[in-house]
Structure 1
Amino acid sequence: MTDNELFLPRAAIPNTPRQAPAWAKKSPPKSKAATRSKITAQKYLAPRDPHEHARKIAENVIDAWHQSYGGSSIDIPLGTVAALALLRQPPGTGNGLADWILQRQPHELPQLFKEIYLGHWIKRPDLINRALRLHDWAWNPNPDPQQLRAVQAVTHRAVNQGLLDLTGHDDPYLRAETDVLSPLLTGLRHKSDKKWRGEYHTPACVTDLLANMLVDKNFAQPDLAIREPAIGSGTMFRSVAQRLRDLGLNPRDYHWYGNDIDALAAACAAVNTIIWDLGPNAFIGCADSLTTEDGGYAKTLAEANESFAQRDRYMDTATSTAASRRAFRLLDDLIANKGTAVA
């Protein structure tokens, strides 16, 4: 390990207070169900603790999934919540975005999720490709109608439980107050599956404590490399990023590399990397850290470079196609106008 990589010396916690997050400033309104005439976002009593709020969302999503469909395809409800968590609620619009989502019919939701993932693919194709397990089901040309109704039930439950209040902020500090995917991933998996995988996500209170103990402003200089060989959904990265922000530093100025042997966990970490705005030098790999010399970093970087190259090829093709279509339209207009003039 080099001198500019993180697993850092102990440091004191700063005494500078930070403004209270949005969810702690005032009590939310009392619960109110949507009317039959118009589907609208329900008012709910959000827990004051964002981690507890995330757990409540996970419990409700799991309940909605199993009541409506069930089965072992846990990537579908997980990918649904991940897509919704990538949305941003425009300031001053109230529940406008939530209301619009709740009015979508089941058959409209896969297209919505594809557009969300494609929108982020333009900027970070490597992370969206890593998250393929979360959204490849949406590209099924012949989806199961019952499965789509289950996706709608999950969407309604997540939105009505205030998912966008946790992840829809413009401020990445507020989006990174909790990890909404970790309790959902661990809750959807069967106990025997988690035991076989050895998958036990570190609680946020522990990762926050470790970040406060290990990260100080003198050591955490820009370009520091921060690595996590068993990243799970990325909770340790979240805590370190928040600690950096509390110190007045920008996580985008650092190099992040997280790796996990579980493809679904790595997919969640990739989405969280976008939600938490860790920056252009954050990469997520999927490999066995114990069997690779560098924890899979070289392979991950090569895959990321290929993802960007592939995106550029697709964009060039799309640009050329659009230019050709414009040229043909202009030619058609010219011929039509010429024919009119002759007549």
Structure 2
Amino acid sequence: MEIAQAVVTAWNASDHSGRRDVALSVVAALSLAEHRDLNEPDLTKQLRSQSPEEFTGTLRQIYTALVNARPDLTHLVYPLMEWLFNEPDAALQRATKHTADAALRASQLDLTGTDRRYDTDLLGVVLALLKSENATGANAQIYTPAPIADAMSSMLMAGINPPREGQRVMDPAVGTGGLFRAAAQVMRSNGHDPATVSWYGADIDDLAIAACAVNSLLWGLGPRILLCVTNTLTEPDWATRAEAQREEIVKLAERIRRDKLMAAAIRAAQQLTEIVTTEEDDESGDSSAS
């Protein structure tokens, strides 16, 4: 709560307070920063020493790494990273850096960069605090507090075996994934790996789904995560559409990867041809001179 409050206070002090996506994007990226090799023992110190422009570049690198590692999540996390690739102005970059510094001063990396991340949903708290009371009430968005989610999961699984490999866990109002986190913890406590089951979740808020996608990485939910932005009351068969969408995204990513490999091979061949041609020209010049 202290980290989330520091983030929201810093962000609301800027002229961009209405951009919930940007503030949430910063916290999400910092949550993933532990996965990057920055060759620096004190990551907090390094990030805080960056200029706003340098930090914006770091955020781009973090999200690019996420997309390359998990192309199936690209369309889900897009609401968090869209602003980064639309040439943000200097004022927005300064506000972003100010907010990141607030999160780092509040020791975010001591939470999200350690196993303590399994015990809480920081992104859910940040998103809830960023919303006005009117907006929250209008959309009827009330996130389940972590202790209640833990208790619900424990009671639900007390009389049955936790989900096992090949089974599915579904939450039709998943929010940022609080109940997924609690269920995964119960599985771990019973000696089961959360990555061996499928996690299906839907929500009407695209930022909540984006946060849930990032959380799925932080909580080790594995590759079988299927999320969808929809109202499950009006689209009961949402999972079918989400599966088709994910398959399309993965195929597109694979085509792009092949195209990049082909382009790299062509460039390498061109460079080799240029080297050979240069060497032949040099040899021809030597012969003429003789």
TM-aligned CA deviation for residue 184 of structure 1: 0.5
Normalising by structure 2, we get a TM-score of: 0.92
Partner of 1:12: none
Question: Would the alpha carbon gap of residues 218 and 97 (structure 1) be closer, same or farther in structure 2, given more than 3 Å must change?
Answer: same
Question: Would the alpha carbon gap of residues 185 and 90 (structure 1) be closer, same or farther in structure 2, given more than 3 Å must change?
Answer: closer
TM-aligned CA deviation for residue 222 of structure 1: 1.9
Aligned residues: 283
Q: Which residue of 140, 153, 165 corresponds with 1:222? A: 165
Amino acid in structure 2 at the alignment position of 1:119: A
Partner of 1:256: 199
Distance 1:167 1:146 in 2: 27
Partner of 2:2: 56
1:193-342 paired onto structure 2 within 5 Å: 193-216=135-158, 218-294=161-237, 296-342=238-284
Distance 1:132 1:243 in 2: 30
Partner of 2:77: 131
Amino acid in structure 1 at the alignment position of 2:206: A
C-alpha contact 2:162 2:186 (8 A) present in aligned 1 = no
**Structure having the larger proportion of residues in helix:** 2
C-alpha contact 2:162 2:187 (8 A) present in aligned 1 = no
Question: Would the alpha carbon gap of residues 205 and 253 (structure 1) be closer, same or farther in structure 2, given more than 3 Å must change?
Answer: same
Distance 1:71 1:121 in 2: 27
Q: Which runs of 4+ in 1 moved over 4 A?
A: none
Amino acid in structure 2 at the alignment position of 1:211: S
C-alpha contact 1:130 1:284 (8 A) present in aligned 2 = yes
Percent identity between matched residues is: 30
C-alpha contact 1:284 1:300 (8 A) present in aligned 2 = yes
Distance 1:167 1:286 in 2: 25
Structural RMSD (CA): 1.8
The DSSP-based 3-state class of the residue aligned with 1:259 is strand
TM-aligned CA deviation for residue 207 of structure 1: 0.3
Question: Would the alpha carbon gap of residues 110 and 94 (structure 1) be closer, same or farther in structure 2, given more than 3 Å must change?
Answer: closer
Partner of 1:23: none
Distance 2:36 2:222 in 1: 21
Structure 1: segments with no counterpart, 5+ residues: 1-54
The DSSP-based 3-state class of the residue aligned with 2:33 is coil
Is it true that 1:150 corresponds to 2:95 in the alignment?
Answer: yes
